[in-house]
Chain A
């Protein structure tokens, strides 16, 4: 019991008793709150999809800037990529939420988590895109040109389809990663799956039950995303990947 008392100030460790396995599971309250949990899961998907789309747009710009020889743009892109890759996601979220708040820019938890995820996604995807682009030999460009294609046709029919094949799996992984990392919203009081779970368990004290259901929901979401991604890749690439 003594050791339990030590943690009692911690919001996540709400244990009623310290003796043996006398924890009773009560699932009713979880099922009653299922609509709210599902709503939280929807917010999780929502924020990760948005973070991915915005991240892709910024990453394309950053990748172009990095491959360009004009110095200032290249420096900006490199700094962005290195900061995003070499600091924890939790740090980025704190920075967006508390750090910007100190400068007078008060973001809502949703926007703070979203901007942190966009920042990191853009950093990682820049390297993915750059690697994908550079893996296609420049001789293909010249060869297509000599066949009479114009630049747009070369990119449309030769370079981009091959590039998409090479960056498809890293992009799927990045998407799964952002779904999992959006769970950090719990720490700034965001209403996604983890945050909702945390709020509901603090009302009912059924910590284990709620977080178990949340874990299962994350698992299902991740599997669904991976499954539909592999279906899509079969459709897009017709097996030749």
Chain B
């Protein structure tokens, strides 16, 4: 018994820190890529015809209506079966970014739409080009309006990044899972993990609520 399970010790710090770093890395990658892709797709949806919108909306709908865990398993099995097995980090980043994109595009689309038509027309009548109205009028004004929603999506991505553990990426929950099976001290380790997520998430969500309140006034 004693030889099988060894208690938690200071030498595990490095292992836990790797998990922390991996969670942070994949969250940042997914948020950055998801935001950029979402911005592009959101703009496309705000501008394009009904037909393109229906097609794009259908694809995004699939990403939003299938559980992330199923998407991850399907994608990593699929590329494996096709003969191009991907590193868990790469496969996880791709799916997590696409998943983020699906939510971000809705946020950004409503941001672009929130700038009223009359404001766009007046910008054009002042002699701005189409590109200038986008970069100087619709982007800054529209994006400010949706900042709280953007923050909400980003926070949920940090939390959802825990699911990438199912395809073998060593993020925080998977490291703690392995530590638990070695040390048999689930409560202490899990509470530590919970505190970590809380410390990252709570200040950001409070800030989001603060901004939202300030904008409502």
Interface residues of A, Cβ cutoff 8 Å to B: 3-4, 7, 10, 12-23, 82-83, 85-91, 94-95, 98-99, 101-103, 176, 180-181, 183-184, 186-187, 194, 207-208, 211-212, 214-215, 218-219, 222-223
- Interfacial chain A residues near B137, Cβ < 8 Å: none
| A194-B173 contact in complex given A12-B166, A91-B193, C-beta closer than 8 Å | no
Contact with A along B158-188 (1 / 0, CB 8 A): 0110110111100001000100100001110
B81 lies within 8 A of chain A by Cβ: yes
A37 to B78, CA, bound (A): 21
Q: Is the CB of A87 within 8 A of B67?
A: no
Q: Is the CB of B67 within 8 A of A10?
A: no
Of B68, B73, B191, B198, which contacts A86 at CB under 8 A?
A: B198
Q: Is the CB of B197 within 8 A of A218?
A: no
In the A-B complex, list the 8 residue pairs whose CB atoms are closest, starting with the nearest: A183-B67, A86-B201, A88-B159, A23-B81, A222-B65, A98-B186, A15-B80, A88-B162
A118 to B198, CA, bound (A): 19
A86 to B194, CA, bound (A): 9
Contact with A along B89-105 (1 / 0, CB 8 A): 00000000000000000
Q: Is the CB of A82 within 8 A of B202?
A: yes
A99 to B166, CA, bound (A): 20
A121 to B66, CA, bound (A): 19
Please count how many residues in chain B sit with their CB below 8 Å of the partner chain's CB atoms: 43
B25 lies within 8 A of chain A by Cβ: no
Q: Secondary structure of the B side of the interface? A: helix
Interface residues of B, Cβ cutoff 8 Å to A: 62, 65-71, 73-74, 76-78, 80-83, 85, 88, 155, 159-160, 162-163, 165-168, 173, 177, 180, 185-187, 190-191, 193-194, 197-198, 201-202, 205
16 residue pairs of the A-B complex, CB under 8 angstroms, read A10-B168, A12-B77, A13-B76, A13-B77, A16-B81, A20-B83, A23-B81, A86-B202, A88-B159, A88-B173, A95-B190, A102-B186, A181-B67, A211-B74, A215-B71, A223-B65
Q: Is the CB of A87 within 8 A of B85?
A: no
A103 to B198, CA, bound (A): 22
- Interfacial chain B residues near A218, Cβ < 8 Å: 65-67, 70
